[in-house]
Amino acid sequence: MVHHSAILKYQEEQGSLSNQVSKSRSLSKPPPLPLKKQNTTLLWSIHEPFFIHLVQGSRVNADEGMKLVVQAGLFHGSELLCKVVTSSEVSVCSDPRWDQKLVFDISLCDLPRMSRLCFALYGVLEKSKKQRSTKKKNKKADCPLVWVNTMVFDYKDQLKTGEVVLSTWPSAPDDKGDLLNPMGTVERNPNIDSTAGLIIHFPNFRPHPLYYPPLDKVTERNGEKISASKEEHLKLKEIVDNKNHTEFFEDEKELLWKLRGEVRAHYPESLSKLLLITKWNKHEDVAQMVCLLRKWRDLPALHALELLDYSFPDPHVRSFTIRCLRKLRDDELFQYLLQLVQVLKYESYLDCDLSTFLLERALSNKRIGHFLYWHLRSEMHISSVSLRFGLILEAYCRGSIYHIKSLMKQNEALNKMKALNDFVKSGCQKSTSKSQITEDMKLCIKQDTYLEALSEIVSPLNPNIILCEICTDKCKFMDSKMKPLWLMYRNKWLQSDSVGIIFKNGDDLRQDMLTLQMIQLMDVLWKTEGLDLRGIKPQPHKNTIHLLIYHTICIKYNKSSQLGTIYQNSILMHSFIVWITSVFYNVGKKTLNEVCPNFCLVLYILNCVSFCLAKFGINRERVPFILTYDFVHVIQQGRTNNSEKFERFREYCELAYKILCRNGTLFVNLFALMRAAGLPELSSSKDIQYLKDSLALGKSEDEALKNFKVKFNEALRESWKTKVNWMVHTVAKDNR
């Protein structure tokens, strides 16, 4: 039996414990309530000037005899929104300090949504040294060091506030003398330990966040309809009809803006012209343009592609563009995939409509996914795009798990090819004989690890081809600088045929990819118009089109080979082209008049942007159209008086050229978008302008044809000089 006093004591202890638990529960804080929506202000209601604080630099490396200066500019695409601001000069040190307020001549309300703040850090000679220097040295007084860009708004439309550390990018020599680089990335340099930094501070203009107005607020400010005279309508038609017209006088800008409603209704394909003359540093005009864009009918891809250029960064414009591109069939999208990947570099934020669009189409079409993967993967070594491209690659792989195994196998094979290529290069540097290096390379391929990695893989060049078993005895390497590998495989689907691939490591192949893309596009356009200029596209199972074109057109052979005398003997040239045409294209002498025009015109278009022909020392201004004496000999089938054949050839050239001119806008847009790739041949607007002039954009078909005939006759007169030029280049190359 338990005494009642013990029971009472137990009850008291339990009660005390219960009170302690309840007390501790009452002392603990309840979960926080959801925060109330913060007070926010729309930017268009604030008319104060925009400014930032330039605090200091870090890890700056410059000569002691210089002063350090920072230049800052606000850009919307390629347009400078206000005057550039320059900091004071400070002495060179690792961590220079300015602690200076930089005020821009633009109000907060007039900042466009995609405002980009661009900085350049450069060194200047001290005044005492400048006075003693010559005039020539004075021109080089400014020494660009680094640059960096950042957005004024974050991805949530909020005006940035607080301190930001910007990891910079090294400045490259620029013939134009521009210090700022608005076309460059807004990503920070990930190599923060080895690059200079800039510390800036975005001020708090208000105690609460400032936001760019949402679309519904923007479209509230719609304008009134404006009437115009007959003369103004005629002038407008003249402006929009000139496809070569991208720079306008002030009166033309005013007329385009005044009649923007007419442009939308009657000339929708001229949207780019209207966007170029819009005053993006005036929020009233921006509101008008955005409202007008909502009513704009969809454009064909031919015109929509142009709007992906970095000159058109507005999010509403880019969303409109993607809406137009969604109508592309998969085969059409594939034709432009190279450019669409490159213009991802122009996007200001990681999450954008273009990335989403490409991922959607890649996940719904394995062929598009395959090439999207390799276009992105091939540039992952570039720091400025590695984050963006890496995220897109991850998203694709997570959404297409069935494809990962095949892609991993391809990556493994490419790693082995790279190792083989490095082995070959190492042997060549040691002056080992070519035969010995080839034998050693074959022994390496026969190793189990190499055989396993290099067999049963999907071709990265064509996902429809399975590289079944590597033919070790047929593998070799080529003599050019990068010692590319020539690897032969048995075709899984065609047992009687083999497939060859060339692996080249160390060169930028994007120029070659663009060249092949243009050749394929020309072929499609000509066939669409009923003109089948044979010889451009090989049989479906052939993977050597780039070799065929290169060897047939450029005639790039070693002097020691049997074809080394091809320049000296036009009859041999004639026989060779007849043979190569018959073997690879299954056509004979009768179709040479159809084959040669495409060769000449392909070179003509590629010459417009210095592709291919620069390798042969041919100046594009001197020889715009390539027609060698050997070509003429081939066309006339070896007879000097066969004028009928030659005139037929001339007719083919003129007809093919007219078809290209009708599609000139497409070629110009595709080349312009490739400026994002950073190719030297497409580094400035002058390169694109030369292409426009060559395709006679803005001229009638008769004017274009007249201009082409002049170039054709000039090429015929200069044909012997071109032949000599090619011969000299070959001799020079072989004696390097």
Spatial distance between the Cα atoms of 514 and 671, rounded to a whole number of angstroms: 8
The region of weakest confidence among 73-77, 176-180, 253-257 is: 176-180
Q: How many CB atoms lie within 10 A of CB 298?
A: 15
DSSP 551: I
- What pLDDT is attached to residue 16? 61
| Structural contact between residues 591 and 661, judged by C-beta atoms closer than 8 angstroms | no
DSSP 640: T
- What pLDDT is attached to residue 302? 85
Round the average pLDDT of the chain to a whole number and report it: 79
Classify domain 215-365 by CATH architecture: Alpha Horseshoe (1.25)
Domain 510-734 sits in which CATH superfamily? Phosphatidylinositol 3-/4-kinase, catalytic domain (1.10.1070.11)
Spatial distance between the Cα atoms of 426 and 432, rounded to a whole number of angstroms: 9
pLDDT tops 60 at residue 377: yes
- What pLDDT is attached to residue 639? 58
pLDDT tops 80 at residue 4: no
* 215-365 against 408-503: fold identical: no
| Structural contact between residues 661 and 694, judged by C-beta atoms closer than 8 angstroms | no
Nearest to 279 by CA among 304, 303, 258, 302: 258
pLDDT tens column, 44-79: 989 999 999 999 999 999 888 889 999 999 999 999
pLDDT tops 60 at residue 583: no
Q: Which residue has the higher pLDDT, 118 or 734?
A: 118
User: Which two tokens mark 725?
Assistant: 């030029």
Distance, CA of 365 to chain centre:
22
pLDDT tops 70 at residue 713: yes
Spatial distance between the Cα atoms of 583 and 581, rounded to a whole number of angstroms: 6
| Structural contact between residues 96 and 57, judged by C-beta atoms closer than 8 angstroms | yes
CA 699 vs CA 242, 274, 685, 696, 703: distances in Å: 8, 21, 20, 6, 6
Distance, CA of 588 to chain centre:
40
pTM score of the predicted model: 0.81
- What pLDDT is attached to residue 616? 39
pLDDT tens column, 523-571: 888 888 887 765 444 333 333 333 333 333 333 333 333 333 333 334 3
- What pLDDT is attached to residue 228? 78
User: Which two tokens mark 428?
Assistant: 């060549």
Domain topology for 408-503:
3.30.1010
pLDDT tops 80 at residue 7: no
User: Which two tokens mark 464?
Assistant: 């429809």
Give φ, ψ of 79 to 5 degrees.
-90, 125
Q: How confident is the model at residue 234 (pLDDT cuts 50, 70, 90)?
A: very high
Residue keyed to tokens 């040691």: 430
Spatial distance between the Cα atoms of 686 and 691, rounded to a whole number of angstroms: 9
- What pLDDT is attached to residue 30? 66
The whole-number average pLDDT for the span 507-522 is 78
Angle, helices 664-673/685-694, rounded to nearest 10 degrees: 160
The domain segmentation of the chain, as residue ranges, is 41-211, 215-365, 408-503, 510-734
- Domain 41-211 - what CATH class? mainly beta
Burial class (CB in 10 A: 0-12, 13-18, 19+), 151: middle
Q: What does DSSP say about strands 49-58 and 197-202: parallel, antiparallel, or unpaired?
A: antiparallel
Q: Which residue has the higher pLDDT, 208 or 4?
A: 208
Spatial distance between the Cα atoms of 586 and 600, rounded to a whole number of angstroms: 20
Q: Which residue has the higher pLDDT, 609 or 575?
A: 609
The region of weakest confidence among 179-193, 513-527, 594-608 is: 594-608
